[in-house]
Amino acid sequence: MKKHPLNRRIRLAGLALATGAALTAGAAQAQDKGSVHLAYVEWSSEVASTNVMRAVLEQAGYEVDMTSLSAAAMWQAVASGDADGIVAAWLPTTHADYLERVGDDVVDLGPNLDGTKLGLVVPEYVEIDSIEELNDHADSFNGEIVGIDPGAGLMSLTEEVVDTYDLDLKLQSGSGATMTAALQSAIQNEEDIVVTSWTPHWMFARWDLKYLEDPENVYGGAEQIHTIVRQGLEEEMPEAYAILDAFEWTPEDMGEVMLMNQEEDADPYESAKQWVEENQEQVQEWLDAAN
């Protein structure tokens, strides 16, 4: 059953503050087509992809709202119908638990990006190459692994890594921003540091980094980022559903947007609009799917 838009917004307000609103010249057309609500997790990769999808859907004539949530809340918002969709589902490993919990209440439209990776990352100058070597050098890493937000699937996997390898390092939670800030500071001082990270991420374009080998394969192999939508979206908004279903790009595409977002005073929405304008042939393929 379709949920009333006002009720949906009230429920989402209890989870997080909605960010942004449609700023297109075709506002009247957008109102005619309705509003699409996208949830996302505050990772640089998902900020990039969700803003790009916002710009594309606005080009198609929709109003688009975005809400930043924890990973668990993001999945739950789609399952409950409080959000229409996400383009930020890391599968089959990172978000496996969330999919298992709500899989019957959502629709998986398949991958929008191939070639992701998760793991522990160190600067290229660090002498070790494997997670198995961390304990022998725990002091040089200040006895810690610098993590991201505690609700992230990557953090759960890293807790498994700590147990599996019986590491003497403590996993410290934070955010994507605090992780990259710590990494930048360590590199500037040529200090050893180990962080939780993922590909695609802009930091690999900025610094010389390497993944530590994971002989026990706790992090799994390469993953994909999937598009997940709520039940009923296809029937209620077939054009928006078709565009979301057609959305597919590469790590290189995403990397371009993420690098734009690292420029001083960058606005992720403006970066996304710029990328969309510069890649109209590719974007048009997604829009054509609605026809």
Question: Is the same domain home to 187 and 257?
Answer: no
More confident residue, 236 or 200: 236
**Cβ neighbours of residue 150 under 8 Å, at least 6 residues apart?**
173
- pTM score of the predicted model: 0.71
The domain spanning residue 257 has which CATH number? 3.40.190.10
> What does the alpha-carbon distance between residue 208 and residue 202 come to, in Å, rounded to a whole number?
11
**Cβ neighbours of residue 69 under 8 Å, at least 6 residues apart?**
15, 16, 39, 40, 41, 77
Digit-coded pLDDT (tens) for 51-92? 999 999 999 999 999 999 999 999 999 999 999 999 999 999
> What does the alpha-carbon distance between residue 129 and residue 121 come to, in Å, rounded to a whole number?
10
Question: Is the same domain home to 259 and 181?
Answer: no
> Is 10 domain-assigned?
yes
Question: Number of structural domains, the chain?
Answer: 2
Q: Which of 186, 211, 236 is the last residue of a domain?
A: 211
Question: Is the same domain home to 153 and 97?
Answer: no
Give, for 146, the enclosing helix (H) or strand (E).
strand 144-146
- Domain with 76 in it: 5-115+222-288
Owner of token pair 């610094």: 207
Question: Is the same domain home to 105 and 120?
Answer: no
Pairing mode, if any, of strands 63-69 and 35-41? parallel
Question: Is the same domain home to 128 and 261?
Answer: no
Per-position DSSP letters for 20-81, written without gaps between them? -----S-HHHHHHH-EEEEEEES-HHHHHHHHHHHHHHHHTT-EEEEEEE-HHHHHHHHHHT
Average pLDDT over residues 16-39: 58
Q: Which of 184, 211, 238 is the last residue of a domain?
A: 211
* Candidate from 28-32, 50-54, 180-184, 261-265 with smallest mean pLDDT: 28-32
Question: Is the same domain home to 91 and 18?
Answer: yes
* Residue of 64, 115, 77 whose CA lies nearest to 273: 64
> Is 194 domain-assigned?
yes
> Is 38 domain-assigned?
yes
Question: Is the same domain home to 10 and 32?
Answer: yes
Question: Is the same domain home to 102 and 137?
Answer: no
The domain spanning residue 168 has which CATH number? 3.40.190.100
Please answer whether residues 3 and 233 qualify as being in contact, where contact means their C-beta atoms are separated by less than 8 angstroms.
no
Question: Is the same domain home to 140 and 178?
Answer: yes
Q: Which of 182, 211, 240 is the last residue of a domain?
A: 211
> Is 91 domain-assigned?
yes
Average pLDDT over residues 175-204: 94
Question: Is the same domain home to 267 and 174?
Answer: no
> Is 216 domain-assigned?
no
* Residue of 122, 101, 286 whose CA lies nearest to 190: 122
| CB neighbour burial string for 63-98, b if at least 16 within 10 angstroms, e if fewer | bbbbbbbbbbbbbbbbbbbbbbbbbbbbbebbbbeb
> What does the alpha-carbon distance between residue 215 and residue 13 come to, in Å, rounded to a whole number?
43
Average pLDDT over residues 193-217: 93
> What does the alpha-carbon distance between residue 196 and residue 175 come to, in Å, rounded to a whole number?
10
pLDDT at 19 over 70: no
How high does pLDDT run on average in the chain?
90
Question: Is the same domain home to 25 and 84?
Answer: yes
* Candidate from 42-56, 96-110, 182-196, 197-211 with smallest mean pLDDT: 197-211
> Is 217 domain-assigned?
no
pLDDT interval class at 23 (50, 70, 90): very low
Per-position DSSP letters for 195-257, written without gaps between them? EEEEES-THHHHS-EEEPB-TT-SS-S-EEEEEEEETTHHHH-HHHHHHHHH----HHHHHHH
> What does the alpha-carbon distance between residue 238 and residue 47 come to, in Å, rounded to a whole number?
24
More confident residue, 258 or 1: 258
Average pLDDT over residues 109-128: 95
pLDDT at 178 over 80: yes
* Residue of 254, 264, 273 whose CA lies nearest to 113: 254
Question: Is the same domain home to 124 and 181?
Answer: yes
Q: What is the DSSP letter of 169?
A: S
